[in-house]
Amino acid sequence: MHLDPSKEPFEAWTHKIQLMNTTLRNTTAHLSDDTSCKQLKSLLDKELLLMVKKANIPAETKLREWILAIKELDVEHQLTNQQHDKHIAGTRQH
């Protein structure tokens, strides 16, 4: 279930994954915060993952803070994509 930024923002996608993990609580399939963070990171789209690497978020960041930091990067990512889309649409009209 990779993040597809054209279909949903990071926040909604992460929320769905966290809900699934919550239903697995008290089972051997439940992911710890550290494992959840690694799993989420591995499923990010390439552009957002590059932004995450450039942001240099400390490895010891708690899951909640990590999610909030990535949410901010995703908002920036979405705005940049919207600006590119508008620019491309504008150049096609000329």
Number of H helices, E strands in the chain: 4, 0
pLDDT band at 21 (very low <50, low <70, confident <90, very high): very high
The structure's pTM equals 0.80
Residue reference for tokens 């054209």: 6
CA–CA dist 34, 28 (Å, integer) = 15
pLDDT digits (tens, 9 = 90+) for 67-81: 999 999 999 988 887
Q: Which helix (H) or strand (E) holds 34?
A: helix 33-42
Residue spans of the domains in the chain: they are 10-93
The residue type found at 10 is F
Residue of 50, 18, 43 lying closest to 33 (CA atoms): 18
pLDDT band at 82 (very low <50, low <70, confident <90, very high): confident
